[in-house]
Structure 1
């Protein structure tokens, strides 16, 4: 009888030991250590740079360029979306250092700001691309929109951005993780019971389709049609170049995060359940998201480097003696641009 019981006990011992070894190897990536050490300094710097850069851009658009041109209004609304996005940075710093102690209501509001800022940026960027496409390709049939039409487009665009962010707003809540309260922005880690897979797949696909694929499709379509026009070869479109550079930089910053998020969400269907792969996916999500969030700070830098008036005003800010000369040169530029031809090839925003 002893010979019959020994193998059974021995097998149980081996199985328990093997399971224990697997649980030790498959440890979850701890993002709190990296966040506490890196995020406060980095997000503080990005918050200051983004606030100053977008504020200076708004000043240039309102005071010097004017809002009579539709394109300038779109650039202004992109800056406003950046302000909404920047509001979340101090709360990200607070979450990285301390646990979330601001309640569910604040968590929903900050998640709403994050999402509306992101989708607002995307919507107005698409509007800029379409506006340039119509102005260049369909120049004979394209007419400048009236104030009432422009106002309606802007209100509708912000309405779409808010409507798209409703799921994140409704699902965002304070969650307990490792004895700390956390408020997650956009990526929800706890879904309604029974509908976990649906909301997980839906939110990931929504962000990939609306945030990357649709803008990319519009960009490629409009760019290919513009390249075929004879007017594109005859003239220099510095404004078009500015819009395309902003689009490419935005895509370059957000595509890695959306790709990693897609792999993480559908890892079961893609056979990515290995412990090491899961660990690296969690780490990649944190790193690529931090990189993607810098788009709101890089936007005014691109405008400053590629836009003449913005760069001149930035120089005048540090050299006020050239202010009179600046007014004269800008006035002559504006006069020459109005006498040379239609506004679709102007170098101004």
Structure 2
């Protein structure tokens, strides 16, 4: 095979260019994927952000003003609500900049993307911690009782460890995410010593400022692009799934021996928690695992587009979990619902106070909202 001449001027005739590009295909057209991402971000993601923000703010308000975080589960739930709120606050900015030129600087690019990754990891890991705490409280009753005096200390230490681990797992995002012009970064090595940009000469491109991974060499790019999704599937899904599977299976087996209605209701709650977790996270992580395996394989355009569409859809399903967490882990508890009713009663009574200066009415409302809780379990 004759060696290509890569020296001299790039003045080729149309016939010579056609011969050189014969059999070469351009990048796949991702129009369908872009349209789907736009539709989901405008409608579904907006609803997720609003509902998730309201639900988790209510959880934090309840803990801040009506219910002190006494148990380890309370501490985990409070941290979970904080992680979900940070997630739904970062999501709109990231989505907006995906469909427009990245308007903020390089520092904001790293910070937002890194915090987004941290909150994804911390939220999943905290769910595993909640499962482990319920296992200790229901299956290992005697051991849990002996640890009761240091419950809050252990809870804070575990949460600090979770946030630190989430930060370490998100370091590649903090380091390699950068703001840059994607159109100025095209480097297709068609020949040994020259790039696509050299052939294009002085052609003017519309700026396409993005916030994404950017690497200085191919080896780093390969390692990081394999490492990040692998960590997500292994530590951000598989490990919590194994912990939750073991803990909740043990909890269900223990509760099945109980004869009262309250315990059987708790079994249904546990099953609901596990089913929702699997429904939200299994599709995305399986799709992410498959896309990682075939990342460096040559694929037909239809297959590549299908993988990208599947990632967008399943990722949206995973986002739903931040809306469901307050319902599954807080609002199902009788005690939490009582505290939530106190919030609504306070808001209603204060509104009435400004409208109607009736002292007896306000006193009656104040007495009503101090009704004693009729349950001791905060989440079951």
Same fold (TM over 0.5): yes
Q: Which of the numbers 125, 148, 165 marks the counterpart of 1:144?
A: 148
Displacement after TM superposition at 1:196 (Å): 2.4
Alpha-carbon distance, 1:267 to partner: 1.2
Q: Distance in 2 between matches of 1:67 and 1:285?
A: 37
Q: Label 1:155 to 1:304 Cα distance change in 2 as closer, same or farther (>3 A).
A: closer
| CA pair 81-241 structure 1, distance change in 2 beyond 3 A | farther
Match of 1:181 in 2: 209
Map Cα deviations across residues 177-205 of structure 1 (whole Å, 9 max, x no partner): 35411224xxx475743222222221111
User: In structure 2, what is the Cα distance between the partners aligned to 1:301 and 1:250?
Assistant: 13
The gaps in structure 2 that reach 5 residues or longer are 1-15, 184-206, 350-364
Alpha-carbon distance change, 231 to 317 in structure 1, aligned in 2, over 3 angstroms: same
SS state at 2:70 partner: coil
Change (3 A) 1:192 1:137: farther
Q: How has the CA–CA distance of structure 1 residues 183 and 249 changed in structure 2, closer, same or farther, with 3 Å as cutoff?
A: farther
Distance 1:54 1:268, change over 3 A: closer
Contact preservation (8 Å) 1:104, 1:173: yes
Matches within 5 A, 1:8-27: 19=23, 23=25, 27=28
CA distance in 2, matches of 1:192, 1:87: 33
- Over the aligned positions, Cα root-mean-square deviation in angstroms equals 3.2
> Greater helix percent: which structure?
1
- Alpha-carbon spacing, 1:37–1:96, altered in 2? closer, same or farther (3 Å): farther
Structure 1 or 2, whichever has the larger Rg, is 2
Q: Is the 8 A contact 1:191 1:199 kept in 2?
A: no
Matched, 1:277 2:282: no
Count how many residue pairs are aligned between Structure 1 and Structure 2.
319
1:266 aligns with 2:282: no
2:319 alignment partner in structure 1: 293
Matched residue of 1:114: which SS? helix
User: How far is 1:163 from its partner?
Assistant: 1.6
| 2:193 paired residue number | none
Alpha-carbon spacing, 1:97–1:279, altered in 2? closer, same or farther (3 Å): closer
Query: Within the alignment, does 1:211 sit opposite 2:236 as a pair?
Result: yes
Normalised to the residue count of structure 1, the TM-score between the two structures is: 0.78
Under a length normalisation based on structure 2, what TM-score does the superposition of the two structures give?
0.73
